[in-house]
């Protein structure tokens, strides 16, 4: 949607399409950051078995279970919205892009909630 009231038309920063675009970029950047962190953790194996085991013990703390759930939500949304984008590129669902966006969000929330429910014993273990 273009705003035609100004001399230079520009896209409005509202609506499902804009939010889908923004969240796709943010989750993409977050996943690239995670990839570098993951490579760093795996690289601790080069420092020896003891160092790698120590790092893995830290990563088993409840806070990292919660961060894993955030990672799950990020991957799910990025994937589902990516499928939405592919469908739109193929000319499918163009008139339903808002519904497809909200469907992506809803599926992400439901799947993350289910994973959270089953992960609670890992978060609150003694």
Burial 105-120 (b: 16+ CB within 10 A, else e): beebeeebeeeeeebe
Helix (DSSP H) and strand (DSSP E) numbers for the chain: 4, 2
Nearest partner of 55 among 63, 65, 68, 45, judged by Cα: 45
This prediction has a pTM of 0.82
The reported pLDDT for the residue numbered 122 is 78
16-123 has which fold?
A: 3 helical TM bundles of succinate and fumarate reductases (1.20.1300)
Sequence ranges of the domains in the chain: 16-123
Residue 5 has pLDDT above 60, yes or no: no
Give me the residues paired with residue 11 across strands: 2
- The string of pLDDT tens digits covering residues 16-56 is 999 999 999 999 999 999 999 999 999 999 999 999 999 99
């Amino acid at each position: 949607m273009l705003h035609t009231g100004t001399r230079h038309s520009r896209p409005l920063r509202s609506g499902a399409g804009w939010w889908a675009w923004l969240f796709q970029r943010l989750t993409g950047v977050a996943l690239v950051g995670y990839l570098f962190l993951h490579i760093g953790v795996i690289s601790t194996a080069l420092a020896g078995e003891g160092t790698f085991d120590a790092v893995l013990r830290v990563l088993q703390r409840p806070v990292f279970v919660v961060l894993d759930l955030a990672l799950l939500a990020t991957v799910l949304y990025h994937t589902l919205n990516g499928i939405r984008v592919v469908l739109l590129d193929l000319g499918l669902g163009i008139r339903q892009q808002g519904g497809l966006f909200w469907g992506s969000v809803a599926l992400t929330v439901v799947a993350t909630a289910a994973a959270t429910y089953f992960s609670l014993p890992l978060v609150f273990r003694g």
